[in-house]
Structure 1
Amino acid sequence: MPTEPTTRIVITECDHDSFAPEHDLTDPAGAELVLTQSRSAAELIANAADADAILVQYAQITAEVMDALPRLRAIGRYGVGVDSVDIAAATARGIAVCNVPDYGTESVSDHAIGLTLAAVRGIPRLDRGVRAGSFDLAAVRPLFQTRGRVFGIIGLGLIGTATARKAAGLGYEVIAYDVAATPGQVFHGFAAVTLDELLERSQVISLHTPLTDETRGMIGAAELARMRTDAILVNTSRGGVVDGDALVEALRAGSILGAAIDVHESEPLAAGHPLTTFDSVVLTPHLAWYTEESYDELKRRTVENVLEVCAGRAPRNIVNPEVLGTPGRNSTCAPSTAVTGD
């Protein structure tokens, strides 16, 4: 008697050092999990030719890629942002796109605060000085305490709100700009202001917004020009939210004091990039999301989402829930009957 085809889940590419958490879920479910390291769209298509679901870290999943994968029912993204996936194309083809929007809230907000303190206290610069035998404070003067300074949050979602809470705990006066907030109201416990007011008042500006057509380059030359000369720009959201060339020019001109950047327009950051030449800039390699707790949660929930889709159930997280209940594109996964998500 023929056995039912196995659900096949292909990891398109990933730099994680272990996939035990994924196997803890796929193996009992009878699903096949295959790790590939696809370096191009052609390799990805070849490696995932008979996949029912794919798990994606960095790869661009275009309409052409989807059309070349006729069994594909679900795309799971290792992360919050889904700007690397053509959502409209996936929706038109009945493919569920899943992410993990609320993992790592504490980890990313911790990192945003860590970057802030490193930058405003000049810690990396002082560390380099001590290693070179210097105990001179001149390079970082003047320094200021956090109490009484203004911390501006752009994007008051889960991570932005957690960052705001931690900044307030350090003594900062926290103000926030969010498209869903009316200036003058209290939003998620913090004073909402216009973007212009936030740019003009804040000594620290921390970005916590997704990358969309509306937010791409939202911090450009005009916005940087409105910022205070003693302001630090902190970005743990998406590199494309900031116009990188404009930021470099603002730093060169001294129109802002410095920056602390975890995410970049092009990753990894190229050797010799202009941002690496400024002592007033603190750089980390897109690792704000990482703690052992968030790492495990990310991996388990990414695979849980696509397993749910392939089992005909609504996943905990889905970007395009309208595809639930659509025909299965010749998939061996069970057709979904759910109409609403969590």
Structure 2
Amino acid sequence: MRVLITDYDFPDVELERSLYEKAGIEVVVAQCRNEQDVIAAAEGCQGLLVQYAPINDRVFAARPEIRIVSRLGAGFDTVNTADARKHGVWVANSPDYGVGEVASHALAMTLALVRHVVLYDRDIKAGNWHYSSSGRLNRVSDMTLGIVGLGRIGKRMAYIARNSFARVIAFDPYLIDGDFPAYVEPVDLVTLFRQADTVSLHVPLNGETTGLVNAALLDLMKPGSFLVNTARGGVVNIDDVLTALDTGKLDGAALDVLPVEPPATNSRIVQHPRVLVSPHAAFYSVVAGAELRRKAAQNLIDWARNGRPSYVVVEGS
């Protein structure tokens, strides 16, 4: 078997090489930025290990030898799953490698917003030392936390946040009420945005969720609310978030993900004084990073040995 590592942003691919060498799998390494790059590099490859490179019908049609794609990440929006299904190609991912990291990052961003930690830091560096410098602060234990998407990460967020907030409410149309933890109250999406003091997003990016958080939902929120996104940048309409911040509907927003990454340093969302930004880092710890890479690479080894990857997104033929 021959595998192409289409692209990567970590320092090297020695971990992946060592796994594939032990399994007797040949490895090709590239830094593909578009479909044509993938097509050129993937000649004779049955498997792709993908980070950001786009994989779709054009790739599958040009390289029918490709039978499996494994994505480095829980999300798989860079792989067109409908195209993979049409061509009978397996798609796999790494859904559980960084659950604790993302949830704790989301909670850290949430508390930094509601306690004005970043605003205090900026004020002090500007020479302003006073507890009231950042404006009104409400008690966290009086607040309602709303979670959109109660999968692995959303549930972990609810679990670690439940003792800090008065209530935890959640929306997930794919769960029945019995699948909600006892400390989480199921609500519809409109109710969540009306009642939550701070909303944390934990949904994949797909046709249902693209642009989900827009002016219509943000207008439902209480004045001075907060929004945290550690999911995917495309879930949020950034212009609508900026408007909500400027009008005071949102007191702050924390964004680990953006529609365009990296953003321009002079963009409004980066420079806005009430926006906290991190560089798509919620998934990361040294341990989680290694686990992600091992599991994504192992999908291809398992397919070669057993005809099936460990973490199936699309079943191939």
TM-score normalised to structure 1 length = 0.88
Distance between the aligned counterparts of 1:92 and 1:278, measured in 2? 44
Letter in 1 for 2:22: P
Does the C-alpha gap of structure 1 residues 256 and 46 become closer, same or farther in structure 2, counting only changes over 3 Å?
A: same
Counterpart residue number, 1:179: 173
SS in 2 for 1:26: helix
Q: Could you give the per-residue CA deviations for residues 6-29 of structure 1, whole angstroms, max 9, x where no partner exists?
A: x22111111011323222321111
Whether 1:188 aligns to 2:196 is no
2:102 touches 2:230 (CA, 8 Å); kept in 1? yes
Residues 195-214 of structure 1 mapped to structure 2, 5 A cutoff:
195-214=189-208
Runs of 4+ aligned residues of structure 1 deviating over 6 Å after TM superposition are: none
For the pair 1:296 / 2:285, whether they are aligned, the reply is no
Match of 1:115 in 2: 109
> 1:1-342 counterparts in 2 under 5 A?
7-181=1-175, 187-189=180-182, 190-321=184-315, 323=316, 326=317
User: What letter is aligned with 1:231?
Assistant: S
Secondary structure of 1:288's partner? coil
- 1:276-308 Cα distance to aligned partner (Å, 9 max, x none): 232111001111000112111100000100121
Q: 1:177 to 1:32 in 2, by over 3 A?
A: same
Q: For the Cα contact (< 8 Å) 1:87–1:320, is it kept in 2?
A: yes
Please state how far the C-alpha of 1:182 moved relative to its aligned partner: 5.7
Query: Alignment identity in percent?
Result: 36
Q: Identify which range, 167-176 or 257-266, moves more after superposition.
A: 167-176
1:48 to 1:276, Cα distance in 2 relative to 1, 3 A = same
1:247-266 per-position Cα deviation (integer Å, ceiling 9, x unaligned):
11111222221100111111
- Contact kept, 8 Å, 2:33 with 2:54, in 1: the verdict is no
Structure 2 contact 123–134 (Cα < 8 Å) conserved:
no
Checking the alignment, whether the CA contact within 8 Å between 1:121 and 1:143 is kept in structure 2 is yes
**Aligned-residue CA RMSD (Å):** 1.6
Q: TM-score, normalised by structure 2?
A: 0.95
Matched length: 316
When structure 1 is superposed on structure 2, of 163-172 and 131-140 the one drifting more is 131-140
Structure 2: distance between partners of 1:239 and 1:32? 35
Cα offset for 1:138? 3.7
Gaps of 5+ in 2: none
Gap runs ≥5 in structure 1: 1-6, 327-342
Specify the SS of the correspondent of 1:233: strand
* Cα shift at 1:106: 0.3
